[in-house]
A and B are shown apart, each in its own frame.
Chain A
Amino acid sequence: MNPGGGSSLLEFPLPLAGASHGFCCEYDATLRSDASGGGGFEGPPGAGPLWACLRVLTVSADSAEPLSVGAGSLNEPSGLLSAKNAFLPPRQERQLQMRRALSTWLDEGFFSALESLASTSEGRFTTCWARGLEGVARALLATYRMTSNIHSSFNPHLMLSGEDMIARFSPNRDWFGSKIRVMAWHPHTLKLAVAFKTDQIQVLGQDLLASPTLKYKRQRGVACLAWRPLNGSELAVGCLTGLLIWTVDPLSVAARPSASCVNFLPTPPGHAPVTTDTSMILWNTASETKVPLRRVGGGGVHSVAWSPDATKVLAATPSTVFRVWDTINQWNHERWNVLAGHVNTACWSPCGSFLLFSTNPGASHLLPQFPSSGGSSAAAVPVADMSQIKIDVNGEVIKSPMNFSDMFKSPIRDSRIALKGQIIRIERAFYDKALESDLSCISSHVNTACWSPCGSFLLFSTNQEPLIYCLNFHPVGGSSAAAVPVADMSQIKIDVNGEVINIGGPIQSMKWNSMGERLAVSFKNSDCIALYCTTLYPTLGLSPIGLIQGLEGESPMTMEFAHKCDHGAILSVAWSSGRIQHIPLFYVPLIERNPAPLIINPDFEIHNSFHGQSPTQLFSTPLARS
């Protein structure tokens, strides 16, 4: 990868011709397909057990359908139907009003109870007492709505309902429509948890005696899943109602674990699924105690990502602000701003020194490094000439004449501006009106992010730019001045056997495997997945491997890398048809090519023992757990 210019989608080879058979794998750094569906492909020596395991892990949403409540439940938004609608109300109106309000208060909170009171006294039996109560409830509600409207005017996402909010910020491309909503690989073993649209979760694994299906009444609208590191059985489920901790005994033969296996951690109002106040809550799941980390600005937190070495946490907000918390130094944080679009998707490098993130129009950049936990702000290191950076503005490719060293002089120390924002500023100076119209209604946030295994890099993207940005936390020569775009994902059209297909565009999701050697990027408006080979040392590099397509009419909904694979990596993709495809990526890991430990961070070295530690959204890695 050219450090200054980055890679673009034009460098990718054409999509696989045999992908329509539903089999795909990487071997010898190229993507291959097999017309026989993989049956004739052996892979590297010793890969036989892996094929057997992948066959066990195969599941589709259709197989989970019989366990659902009804055939139509797959098409019904969860939470809209309630059992209490089936019961007749009590006769006495006063009882009805109070009972309903009380039960609503217990189930859904104070303001829902007020809404219930304000809407109950309809009909001819309305008494004076009921009308008075209704009036008080309406007055309180009006006051609340007025204040919340003022609050919401600053944070428009607060206007959304819970499910809409999940759908907007979920890494899943179509959270409402997708039969498979979320997947999560176990960090240490080949065990996969899959959340379906029916709100049930299925756990698959080679060593499991049964494939348990997890279902619980509070488990509605599953937004994210995470296995607890250094634990064989605990699975965290973030959903519409709060946080659930399942204990799935690997030696159990129960197909439907009982409610005693789940622990519901009550989150305060406004904390599920996207926080609507400015705090992020840190749970100690064993003692069920929580620590709120509150900072002003941002309007909530929609996504968090631990760096693999647990030294940093990315907290992306629905606004332009995102924060990187330093877990070693008393949980101080660095506040960052993106000007164009929110960070769409991001991931950390395995060493934790780099953070990659993406935004919208096409460019590719690399930022200077900045220090990690030391707190001392080393001078920014100019690494590339801006003339190498191509920026696609309204279809016109502009080469910036500015030098990187000029761009990193951020006037605001506490609120650093990401590079794209600075580019825009510079472009304004030189190309004035060309960009002003585009910038007039900017409202963006970090969309998705992932850490490198060492915790030195964090990749992320915003919701408005097809760019992958990188933040570098490398302790040697790192700089916290700005984030660098490293890959250009601007949409292109290519002709494959006479069929024109779109590739690229705004980034939906981005996943980095646990060793930091493969990066997969999915898009909002394209049915392909871009697969990169990444190198972290001496500098971050992205080399295109290929584009992955599903069967005809399929689009990728969500994807995950398995955290443990002896022959390279496994990329699992949930397609829109409900099919999960496991794509083995056979390559020789760096640790085997170079037996000497790769020291990137003084407190962290990539080696086999840390192989399994991976970024998760809900659980920290055990280093940070007390």
Chain B
Amino acid sequence: MMSSPISSPGKPPSPCSAQSSPAHWFEHEIFRPRITNSIIRHALLTAFLILVCHAFFNAALLLHPLTWMSTTLGGLFGPSSWLYLALVLGSTVLLGWLVHRHVSTVPFVPQSALSVLWGVVEVPVLLSLGAHLTLGALLTRSLMGIWGGSYGVLTQPCLDGSEFRCIDESHILLVQSGAFMGGFLWFGFHFRNGNLLHFPPIRQHGSSQLRSRLAGIFQASFIEVILNMRWFCFFYIVYGHRLAVTVSQLSRLSLLNGEESVFRYLWHQMVVLAHAIFLDTFVVAAIKLGIEIHNISLMKPVMFPVDPNQAPSLVTAMKSKNPSLMKYLAYMDFKNLSTFKSARRQQLFELSQPGGHPRKWTQVSQACVSEIEEFMGTLQNAAQVVSSSATNAQTKESVAPISSNLRYRFHGGGADNKESKANGVGVSSDKSLKKITNLWDKLVQRFSKNKLFTANPELSLRNAFAQCQIVIWAIEGLSQMIAASVLEDDFGVVQRNLSEILTLLLNLQQTVERYKGLSVSCKQAPANKIRDIQLKQELRSAVKTSIYRITNAFGSHVSAISVPAEFQQKLDNYTRFQE
């Protein structure tokens, strides 16, 4: 279902011209076609789901199958539904635009509540909020239009049989609830890693992935809607009714009168609430489904040519900084080729002609090494931030009471006392100044300790670990290549920098273990909040496995590889499976 004619994993991508940059090629040959493809699939799937629901609503006609089918199809494809279907299509395009603009490869780790608030007021994020609100309202209104029902139109006859029409407040409430859920989705999209490309641990067909997640998406949507409905009820009681009044004033139509008896009124509200829950579940599920389709499509592997002479080569993509997705897909391709494709591995082990230099392996391995070194640098910088903040905190704790006491003594004792005695007027002003200073000190201290405004220094380490997906693929790819080189590397190209890579892996393991922090179990929090912790654990496991893979492949010959003396003992442990 998710196959793409341009970037199927089995086919190399079409070469880009000499003028176009790899980023330009990626944008036009991979990214945009995949987005377009996903929009079409999402629109078709949404239309199908609407049709299924529509058929379900008319299930009472099942005893008359022909009537049932004609009613179902007529309701969906009748002239009155065209506009709404067009709106649904428009909403899928809008969602595609959102994904195109905001898709992310690195998990978001909120530094503090203030940083989240600061992120909210950025213009693209505000635009995204508007788009999400529109999306939710648009889809809800379209569904109401297609499925009809008592709340399908804005106006209703004021009385039974009356020619005068009034505004139906329930209709506005339902549309508002859709927009409200869109707002919640916006928050999850930007601040709970809703826009994150979560690369799956195994390669499956896109349709299989989507099929396996379909039921989960609807279930999660239902629970989310149920939980958020309480906030919507609160919101509607405070602000929502004003919108209905405003619409009524603008249209110069009066609001529909409520039910006469309390029981009928409550029953009416319950029915509206049930409608809202059903519609919102569908809307939320449809949006999540769309994001899932886009993600699956964007994460499909791309097979980059190993030959550096071809324009979008593997090395070029691995070294590119922008777009980040191309870099991710290149590293994923490197890991896949090193694991499963012996023919492509052989290409990497080849020597250049003429010249006989191992350019391909050198370039690829250097790209991986520089990526690993860069990550280690990021990690060490983050660790420095943590240690410096810890030192500052200790200093504050040890110095602050003394300084305040000193200040108190300074203000309260000795010369001050003499001055106050000499000048009776200055005593009260000094005391008030002292109080203000103390109050200011306390305020600063309190706000500096408040999580709302202060970034937790540990989070900088989490932020660093959040970027390690590429490093995981790099070390897995390198270790697989090195293990395969025992039999496949006819020219011994891997031997040239084997010592360097092995030392780097040992160093990386030491660095990661030093800064891993408190080991947090991954199942203690929802997956979208702890993706960085999952990546950290995957990295720890991958480094260890990679070193074992190399030592296991080379066996006793590992002792002939020169590594610094500090790592020699560790390498011996790996050889004896003692780590």
Question: A: which residues have CB within 8 A of B?
Answer: 186, 188-189, 191, 207, 230-233, 250-251, 263, 266, 282, 284-289, 291-294, 327-328, 330-332, 597, 602-603, 605, 607-609, 612, 622-626
Q: Which residue of A lies closest to B342 (CB)?
A: A603
Q: Evaluate contact between A266 and B487: CB separation under 8 angstroms.
A: no
Stretch at the interface among B159-167, B388-396, B535-543: B535-543
Q: CB within 8 A of B522: which of A287, A330, A609? A: A287
Q: Which residue of B lies closest to A622 (CB)?
A: B545
Stretch at the interface among B257-265, B505-513, B549-557: B549-557
Interface residues of B, dominant DSSP: helix
Contacts A289-B534, A602-B342, A609-B553 given; indicate if A230 touches B548 (C-beta within 8 A): yes
Chain B residues, CB < 8 A from A233: 579
Contacts A230-B545, A331-B208, A609-B486 given; indicate if A288 touches B522 (C-beta within 8 A): yes
Chain A residues, CB < 8 A from B522: 287-289
Q: CB within 8 A of B554: which of A186, A609, A625? A: A609
Minimum-distance CB pairs A-B, first 9: A286-B541, A287-B534, A232-B577, A609-B553, A288-B522, A230-B548, A626-B201, A284-B201, A286-B537
Q: Which one of A191, A251, A330 has the highest number of Cβ atoms from chain B below 10 Å of its Cβ?
A: A330
Q: Can you list 13 A-B contacts (CB < 8 A)?
A: A207-B578, A230-B552, A231-B544, A232-B578, A251-B573, A286-B534, A287-B522, A287-B534, A287-B535, A288-B522, A289-B534, A294-B211, A625-B545
The yes or no answer to B248 lying at the interface (CB within 8 A) is no
Contacts A231-B544, A603-B342 given; indicate if A207 touches B576 (C-beta within 8 A): yes
Q: Which one of A189, A597, A609, A625 has the highest number of Cβ atoms from chain B below 10 Å of its Cβ?
A: A609
Q: Which residue of B lies closest to A603 (CB)?
A: B342
A596 to chain B, nearest CB (A): 11
Chain B residues, CB < 8 A from A597: 487
| Complex-state Cα separation, A605 to B553, whole angstroms | 13
Q: Evaluate contact between A331 and B486: CB separation under 8 angstroms.
A: no
Besides A207-B576, A286-B534, A622-B545, 6 new A-B residue pairs in contact (Cβ under 8 A), listed by A number: A231-B548, A287-B538, A292-B212, A294-B212, A331-B202, A605-B487
| Complex-state Cα separation, A143 to B549, whole angstroms | 53
Q: Evaluate contact between B555 and A608: CB separation under 8 angstroms.
A: yes
Q: CB within 8 A of A288: which of B203, B534, B544, B548? A: B534
Interface size class of chain B, counting residues whose CB lies under 8 Å from the partner chain: 35 or more
Q: Which residue of B lies closest to A605 (CB)?
A: B487
B571 to chain A, nearest CB (A): 13
Q: Which one of A188, A624, A626 has the highest number of Cβ atoms from chain B below 10 Å of its Cβ?
A: A626
| Complex-state Cα separation, A284 to B535, whole angstroms | 11
| Complex-state Cα separation, A293 to B204, whole angstroms | 10
Q: Evaluate contact between B578 and A250: CB separation under 8 angstroms.
A: yes
Chain A residues, CB < 8 A from B523: 266, 288
Q: Evaluate contact between A622 and B577: CB separation under 8 angstroms.
A: no
A250 to chain B, nearest CB (A): 5
| B315-338 near A? 1/0 per residue, CB < 8 Å | 000000000000000000001000
| Complex-state Cα separation, A286 to B37, whole angstroms | 34
Q: Evaluate contact between B538 and A286: CB separation under 8 angstroms.
A: yes
Contacts A287-B534, A331-B208 given; indicate if A609 touches B483 (C-beta within 8 A): yes
Chain A residues, CB < 8 A from B579: 232-233, 250
| Complex-state Cα separation, A284 to B208, whole angstroms | 19
Q: Which residue of A lies closest to B574 (CB)?
A: A232
B429 to chain A, nearest CB (A): 61
B319 to chain A, nearest CB (A): 23
Q: Which residue of B lies closest to A230 (CB)?
A: B548
Q: Evaluate contact between A609 and B576: CB separation under 8 angstroms.
A: no
| Complex-state Cα separation, A230 to B576, whole angstroms | 11
The yes or no answer to B527 lying at the interface (CB within 8 A) is yes
The yes or no answer to B200 lying at the interface (CB within 8 A) is yes
| Complex-state Cα separation, A626 to B208, whole angstroms | 19
The yes or no answer to B118 lying at the interface (CB within 8 A) is no
Chain B residues, CB < 8 A from A250: 577-579
Q: Which one of B202, B204, B480, B540 has the highest number of Cβ atoms from chain A below 10 Å of its Cβ?
A: B202
Q: Which residue of A lies closest to B301 (CB)?
A: A330
Q: CB within 8 A of A328: which of B208, B212, B340, B540? A: B340
B448 to chain A, nearest CB (A): 34
Chain A residues, CB < 8 A from B537: 286-288
| Complex-state Cα separation, A250 to B578, whole angstroms | 5
